Amino acid sequence: MTNAPITPEPAIRVRAIEKSYKELRVLRGVDFDVEPGTIFALLGSNGAGKTTMVKILSTLLSPDAGSASVNGFDVAAHAERVRESISLTGQFAAVDEILSGRENLVLVARLRHLKDPGQAADDLLARFNLSEAASRKVSAYSGGMRRRLDIAMSLIGQPEVIFLDEPTTGLDPEARIEVWQVIQELAKRGTTVLLTTQYLDEAEQLADRIAILHQGRIIANGTLAELKQLLPPAKVEYVEKQPTLEDIFLALVGNEGKVASSKEQS
Amino acid sequence: MSTHFFGDTAVLLGRSMRHIFRSADTIITTAITPIALMLLFVYVFGGAIKTGTENYVNYLLPGIMLIAIASGIAYTAVRLFTDMKSGIFERFHSMPIARSSVLWAHVLTSMVANGISLVIIVLVALLMGFRTSASLLSWLAIIGILALFTLALTWLAIIAGLTAKSVDGAGGFSYPLIFLPFISSAFVPTATMPGPVRAFAENQPVTSIVNTIQDLYEQRPIGSDIWVALAWCLGILVLAYFFAVAAFRRKIS
């Protein structure tokens, strides 16, 4: 084998990561790779350790054992380089309530040491449909707007890798679809996305690869098609296709662009 | 890592100063309670209190200022706690910034906010008859001691903000500190107090600070009080800083 295929360095590499909180062993040897420019979903129920994994990768927690690297940098040895490569959108929209939307973006742009923080903020406000609300205090924003702003803040400085920890938890269906569109657009531009979710349909819609984290270990990891093969072949059954409540809700609320795009995806 | 320390701290200081100016109530409440106490003591109780000085406003102003600082730092703990809860703390920490600047920004904000409320209090005291012939040097010494006291208590507040389980816990830790000036020489001379209370009053940090500040603006010779006051402030500062940094390390490891 002289011509072995050249595999690109993974954007995220996780090897035998363990982490305990006192007695509780949250991660018990986790391994996975994420290829650059792909969307990787870490699926698991509440308390499965998804957030802990994301915190380790974003240098907020150090693992008890094992190693991890992001964008080629080891999270323990080169935490600073990792932080330059990533952006974290946590479980709760981490926005400053007292500042306006624009001020939030400028704040992050300044902390990322960009040359023109104002321009970066205005570009993202336009891209996320927030220009009109730019000067309003974030405490007056809706949940969806807050989440959009939160994600916009994560895009400042164009990090190579983005962690999204349960990005759609607590959002209404329309806002959820908006967030999905943003995530898909990110991957199209070449950003690597690691997303955690407890919603199966979210992983199914978005992810190139899905890993299931259960009791501190990855118990399955593959594309949707590969995961489907883990079960016995599909049976053919005839079922009347009823609209889902989501279809009905979106049709009645009537935001046409969004309904169309949700159908595209499903 | 530290190349951005000053820039990052300045940006984050700007952020918390906006918080303060947009919720002006935090400055007003920190200034208004001490002012109300000052009115109460001067115009209600003051006539019955014998301090051996003619000007009671002069006598009680240092104690009032210390109460203002003790209640002002509670907001620092609450602001830090809110940052931790809202996730913005984690956002900052996952960014390529100097991590300690997140804490220092809160510390500097506390210094500025307390400074503003002290200026308001001194202005009201002037209206009520506070008079001093203190020299510029004495004023600088007074400002220095008050700043040191604020810094020491602010680091205590940082511990509370980092370790509290609830927002009430974060703010509530300062109540004993607010109470301390009452059991000191701040409002009445300690000589009138019964034995054990007097012993406590004369050996707790507030009394030495109050006496020093009074001596400084009354242009009296300064006794050993100033060294006791400085020792207390520096001692509290070093201990609080040590525990705050330890608590911070635990949070981010």
pLDDT tens figures, A17-65:
999 988 888 899 999 999 999 999 998 888 888 999 999 999 998 899 9
Q: Which residue of A lies nearest to B101 if distances are taken between CA atoms?
A: A111
Structural contact between residues A96 and A103, judged by C-beta atoms closer than 8 angstroms? yes
Q: So what's the pLDDT on residue B201? A: 84
B contacts of A103 (beta carbons < 8 Å):
18
Q: Give Cβ neighbours of residue B157 (< 8 Å, ≥ 6 apart).
A: B73, B74, B76, B77, B80, B110, B173, B174
Q: Do B88 and A99 touch (CB under 8 A)?
A: no
CA quadruple A104, A105, A107, A113: dihedral, nearest 10? 170
Q: So what's the pLDDT on residue B2? A: 55
Q: Do B87 and A94 touch (CB under 8 A)?
A: yes
B contacts of A111 (beta carbons < 8 Å):
8, 11-12, 92, 95, 97
**Domain of residue A124, residue span:** 12-236
Q: Which of A33, A35, A29 is nearest to A49 (CA)?
A: A29
d(CA B149, CA B69) in angstroms, rounded, equals 8
**How far is B31 from chain A, CA to nearest CA, in Å?**
22
pLDDT tens figures, A159-187: 999 999 988 887 888 888 888 988 998 88
Say whether residue A99 is in contact with chain B using an 8 A CB cutoff: yes
pLDDT higher than 60, residue A4 = no
Q: Which of these ranges, A101-105, A258-262, B19-23, B114-118, has the smallest mean pLDDT?
A: A258-262
Structural contact between residues B145 and B213, judged by C-beta atoms closer than 8 angstroms? yes
CB-neighbour burial class of residue A6 (10 A; exposed 0-12, middle 13-18, buried 19+)? exposed
Name the percent of chain B lying above pLDDT 70: 99
Which of B7, B22, B94 is the closest to A59 by Cβ? B94
Q: Do B96 and A83 touch (CB under 8 A)?
A: yes
What letter represents residue B169's amino acid? G
* Overall domain count for chain A: 1
User: Is the backbone of residue A171 left (phi > 0), alpha (psi -120 to 50) or beta?
Assistant: beta
Q: So what's the pLDDT on residue A129? A: 86
What letter represents residue B253's amino acid? S
Whole-Å CA distances, A238 to A138, A247, A250, B170, B224: 49, 21, 26, 60, 94
pLDDT higher than 80, residue A239 = no
Which CATH number does the domain housing residue A118 bear? 3.40.50.300
Please indicate, yes or no, if residue A179 is contained in any of the structural domains: yes
**How far is B32 from chain A, CA to nearest CA, in Å?**
23
Q: Do A112 and B94 touch (CB under 8 A)?
A: no
Please indicate, yes or no, if residue A213 is contained in any of the structural domains: yes
Q: Give Cβ neighbours of residue A52 (< 8 Å, ≥ 6 apart).
A: A19, A26, A27, A61
Please indicate, yes or no, if residue A218 is contained in any of the structural domains: yes
Name the percent of chain B lying above pLDDT 90: 36
Please indicate, yes or no, if residue A262 is contained in any of the structural domains: no
Please indicate, yes or no, if residue A250 is contained in any of the structural domains: no
A contacts of B8 (beta carbons < 8 Å):
111
d(CA B29, CA B24) in angstroms, rounded, equals 9
pLDDT tens figures, B121-145: 999 998 988 888 888 888 899 999 9
Which of A84, A90, A110 is the closest to B11 by Cβ? A110
A contacts of B96 (beta carbons < 8 Å):
80, 83-84, 112-113
Whole-Å CA distances, A23 to A19, A27, A217, B158: 10, 12, 17, 28
Please indicate, yes or no, if residue A256 is contained in any of the structural domains: no
Q: CB A153: neighbour CB atoms within 10 A?
A: 27
A232 secondary structure, DSSP code: P
Q: So what's the pLDDT on residue A36? A: 92
pLDDT higher than 80, residue A259 = no
Name the percent of chain A lying above pLDDT 90: 41
Q: So what's the pLDDT on residue B4? A: 84
Average pLDDT of span A235-246: 78
Say whether residue A21 is in contact with chain B using an 8 A CB cutoff: no
Structural contact between residues B83 and A96, judged by C-beta atoms closer than 8 angstroms? no
Q: How far is CA B166 from the centre of its chain?
A: 22
Q: Which residue of A lies nearest to B89 if distances are taken between CA atoms?
A: A94
Average pLDDT of span B161-185: 86
Which of A61, A62, A94 is the closest to B91 by Cβ? A94
Give the mean pLDDT of chain B: 87
Give the mean pLDDT of chain A: 85
DSSP strand pairing (A209-214 vs A192-197): unpaired
Whole-Å CA distances, A117 to A65, A107, B6, B9, B11: 39, 8, 18, 17, 12
CB-neighbour burial class of residue B188 (10 A; exposed 0-12, middle 13-18, buried 19+)? buried
Q: Give Cβ neighbours of residue B8 (< 8 Å, ≥ 6 apart).
A: A111, B97, B98, B101
**How far is A147 from chain B, CA to nearest CA, in Å?**
13
Q: Crossing angle for the helix pair B136-163 and B225-252, nearest 10 degrees?
A: 30
Q: Give Cβ neighbours of residue A99 (< 8 Å, ≥ 6 apart).
A: A107, A137, A138, B15, B18
Q: So what's the pLDDT on residue A256? A: 55
